[in-house]
């Protein structure tokens, strides 16, 4: 299983769409389809790549990506390279228990929560209305690593690293448990 970087995405997906700053609905659908196609069998190399990918995703597109990864027996979290085939749970009643439902979708409960955390932050603005977001010339790696872009979510692991006390982490996990993913 291979990994995907920001450069891969720019070259393979975005390069053909550099002629104008506004995408048509057709072009936006092409970009989303290519992102899902690439990430269904691979994973994001690092957190910056996942954040970059999330600039283009809506909650519906992210859910589609997660479902495609699950169909390919991959952990639904795009930052993960693990398979869910090893973790397959054959209990017919496991879907009743929400906490156990991650077993066939994610490699761990942590990745289920990280995926839910990411999903909750995605913009519902259609990609075709996000002007200039796809332009490679607008991407400056040094600036990108320092500044928060409008469409960039906070990655769960990043958030946990920034938190110092166990109380903050416990409060965060409690709030994530209320999300319905």
Residues 6 or more apart whose Cβ sits within 8 Å of residue 173: 113
Helix (H) or strand (E) holding 53: helix 47-54
pLDDT at 169: 66
Kindly give the pairing relationship between strand 3-4 and strand 43-44.
Answer: parallel
pLDDT < 50 stretches in the chain: 87-91, 93-99, 144-147
Q: What angle do CA 81, 143, 47 make, to 5 degrees?
A: 10
Domains recognised in the chain with CATH numbers: 3-177 (1.25.40.820)
Per-residue confidence (pLDDT) for residue 133, from 0 to 100: 87
Which pTM value belongs to this model? 0.75
Q: Give Cα separations from 8 to 13, 163, 164 (angstroms).
A: 8, 32, 35
């Amino acid at each position: 299983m291979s990994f995907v970087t920001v450069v891969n995405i720019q070259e393979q997906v975005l390069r053909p769409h550099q002629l104008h700053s506004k995408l048509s609905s057709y072009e936006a659908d092409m970009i989303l389809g290519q992102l899902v196609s690439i990430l269904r069998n691979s994973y994001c190399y690092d957190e910056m790549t996942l954040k970059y990918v999330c600039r283009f995703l809506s909650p519906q597109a992210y859910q589609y990506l997660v479902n495609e990864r699950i169909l390919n027996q991959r952990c639904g979290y795009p930052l993960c390279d693990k398979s869910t085939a090893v973790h397959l749970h054959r209990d017919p009643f496991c879907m009743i228990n929400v906490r156990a439902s991650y077993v066939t979708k994610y490699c761990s409960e942590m990745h289920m929560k990280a995926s839910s955390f990411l999903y909750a932050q995605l913009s519902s603005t259609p990609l075709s209305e996000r002007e200039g977001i796809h332009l490679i010339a607008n991407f400056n790696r040094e600036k990108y690593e320092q500044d928060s872009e409008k469409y960039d979510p906070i990655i769960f692991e990043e958030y946990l690293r920034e938190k110092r006390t166990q109380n903050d982490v416990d409060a965060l996990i409690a709030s994530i448990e209320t999300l319905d993913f």
